[in-house]
C-alpha cells in the first residue's frame, strides 16, 4: 500500500511542478491586466479632460482627475505583482505574496480619498450655488466613460477571481468606482442641460458613499490577509477530508491556512502509530502533504507535524483537543 502511495506522491510532485509554471503564468496575466488598466486610464483621463474643457463641464474635468488617480492605483498594483512573484529568500522565507495585500490596502485608501473628495466637491457646489450648463459633448464623454470603465471592471474582475489575485480584484473594483463616478457625472451634466444643476452634487454625493463602502471593504479584506485571518471553513474541511483518508493517518488536527497573495500556506498535525519506523512516518507525511496539493488549487506550501501515539493515547488526546476553545478542525 505504501509503495502505491509513493507512486501517487511522485505523480503529485510532478503536478506541483506544473502548478509552479501555472502560478508564474497567472502572475504574468495579472501584470498584463495591470498594464491594460494603466493605459486605459491614461487614455480616459486625456479624453475626459478634453471633453470637460471643450464642453465647459467642471464635473467632467473632476471626473478626469478621478481617472488620473486610477493610473496611480493600477501602477501600485503592477509594482506589487512584480514584488509578489519573487521567490522566497533569506529575509522573506515565506515569499513576498503579502505585497498584494499591501497594494490592495493602498488602492482601498485611494478609493476612500476619492470618495471624500467627491463629497467635498459636491458640498462646495451646493454651498456656492454655482450653475453651469455644459455642452452635449461632455454628456457623450460620460457615456463612453461609463461603458469603457464597466467593461474594464468586468474583464479585470473575472481575471482576478480566476487567478485568485487580491490586488487584481482591488484594481477591478477601482475601475468600477470610476464607472459609478462617471454615472454621477452623466446625471449632473444631464440635469444641468435640462435646467436642474443641483442633480450633479446630489448624485455625486450618493456615488461617493458607495465608493467609500467599496474602499472600506477592500481595506478590510487586505488587513485580514496581512493579519493571517483563517480562510473559509470549506477549505479547512476539504483539507481534513483528504488528510484523514490518507493511509496511515489516524487523525488530523490543528489545521491552519493563511493566504499570501493568490497562494495558500497550509500546516497541520497528523497522528500515526508510534510503533512504525521513522521512515514509514515520513512517507505517510509526504503522502498527506501531496494529497493536499492534489486536492486544492493555489496551495504554495504545506508543512506537516507528526504525532506518534497508540490507541489509548489517541483517545485521551482527542478528548483534550475537543475541549479547546481555539478553532480546531
Contact predicate 287/266, CB 8 Å: no
> Do 68 and 170 belong to one domain?
yes
Report the CATH number that the domain containing residue 222 is assigned in CATH: 1.20.1510.10
Which of 210, 226, 242 is the last residue before a domain boundary? 226
Query: Does residue 83 sit in the same domain as residue 128?
Result: yes
In CATH, what number is assigned to the domain containing residue 240? Answer: 3.30.70.1350
- Pair 110, 75 in one domain: yes
Tell me the DSSP string of 221-287.
HHHHHHTT----HHHHHHHHHHHHTSTT--EEEEEEEEEETTEEEEEEEEEEETTS-HHHHHHHHHH
Q: What is the pLDDT at residue 317? A: 59
For position 329, what pLDDT does the model report? 45
What is the full per-residue pLDDT of the chain (329 aa) written as tens digits? 545 555 555 555 555 545 555 667 787 888 899 999 999 999 999 998 898 888 877 778 878 877 888 888 888 888 888 888 888 888 888 888 888 889 889 988 988 988 888 888 778 877 877 656 778 888 899 999 999 999 999 999 999 988 888 889 988 998 998 898 888 888 888 888 888 877 777 777 877 887 888 889 889 988 988 888 888 888 999 999 999 999 999 889 889 998 888 788 999 999 998 889 999 999 999 999 999 988 888 888 899 999 887 666 656 655 665 555 444 44
Spatial neighbors of 263 by CB under 8 A, at least 6 apart, are 23, 95, 97, 164, 298, 299, 300, 301
Instruction: State how many domains the chain has.
Output: 2
Could you tell me if 150 and 294 lie in one domain?
Answer: no
- Residue 231 main-chain phi, psi, to 5 deg: -80, -175
Are 82 and 182 in a shared domain? Answer: yes
Query: What residue numbers bound the domain in which 114 lies?
Result: 21-226
pTM value is: 0.72
Same domain, 141 and 159: yes
Amino acid at each position: 500500500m505504501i509503495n502505491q502511495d509513493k507512486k501517487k506522491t511522485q505523480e503529485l510532485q510532478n503536478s506541483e511542478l506544473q502548478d509552479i509554471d501555472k502560478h508564474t503564468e497567472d502572475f504574468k496575466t495579472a501584470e498584463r491586466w495591470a498594464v491594460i488598466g494603466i493605459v486605459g486610464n491614461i487614455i480616459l483621463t486625456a479624453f475626459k479632460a478634453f471633453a470637460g474643457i471643450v464642453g465647459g463641464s467642471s464635473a467632467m474635468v473632476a471626473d478626469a482627475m478621478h481617472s488620473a488617480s486610477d493610473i496611480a492605483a493600477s501602477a501600485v498594483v503592477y509594482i506589487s505583482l512584480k514584488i509578489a512573484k519573487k521567490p522566497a529568500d533569506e529575509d522573506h522565507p515565506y515569499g513576498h505574496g503579502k505585497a498584494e495585500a499591501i497594494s490592495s490596502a493602498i488602492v482601498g485608501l485611494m478609493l476612500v480619498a476619492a470618495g471624500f473628495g467627491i463629497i467635498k466637491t459636491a458640498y462646495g457646489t451646493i454651498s456656492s450655488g454655482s450653475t453651469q450648463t455644459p455642452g452635449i459633448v461632455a454628456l457623450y464623454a460620460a457615456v463612453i466613460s461609463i461603458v469603457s470603465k464597466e467593461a474594464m471592471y468586468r474583464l479585470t474582475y473575472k481575471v482576478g477571481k480566476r487567478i485568485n489575485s487580491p490586488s487584481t480584484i482591488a484594481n477591478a473594483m477601482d475601475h468600477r468606482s470610476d464607472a459609478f463616478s462617471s454615472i454621477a457625472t452623466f446625471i449632473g451634466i444631464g440635469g444641468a442641460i435640462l435646467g436642474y444643476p443641483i442633480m450633479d452634487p446630489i448624485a455625486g454625493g450618493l456615488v461617493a458613499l458607495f465608493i467609500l463602502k467599496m474602499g472600506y471593504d477592500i481595506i478590510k479584506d487586505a488587513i485580514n490577509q496581512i493579519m493571517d485571518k483563517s480562510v473559509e471553513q470549506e477549505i479547512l474541511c476539504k483539507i481534513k477530508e483528504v488528510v484523514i483518508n490518507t493511509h496511515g493517518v489516524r487523525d488530523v488536527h490543528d489545521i491552519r491556512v493563511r493566504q499570501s497573495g493568490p497562494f495558500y500556506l497550509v500546516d497541520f498535525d497528523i497522528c500515526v502509530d508510534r510503533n512504525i519506523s521513522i521512515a514509514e512516518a515520513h512517507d505517510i507525511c509526504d503522502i498527506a502533504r501531496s494529497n493536499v496539493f492534489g486536492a486544492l488549487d493555489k496551495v504554495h506550501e504545506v508543512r506537516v507535524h507528526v504525532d506518534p501515539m497508540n490507541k489509548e493515547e489517541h483517545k485521551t488526546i482527542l478528548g483534550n483537543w475537543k475541549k479547546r476553545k481555539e478553532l480546531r478542525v
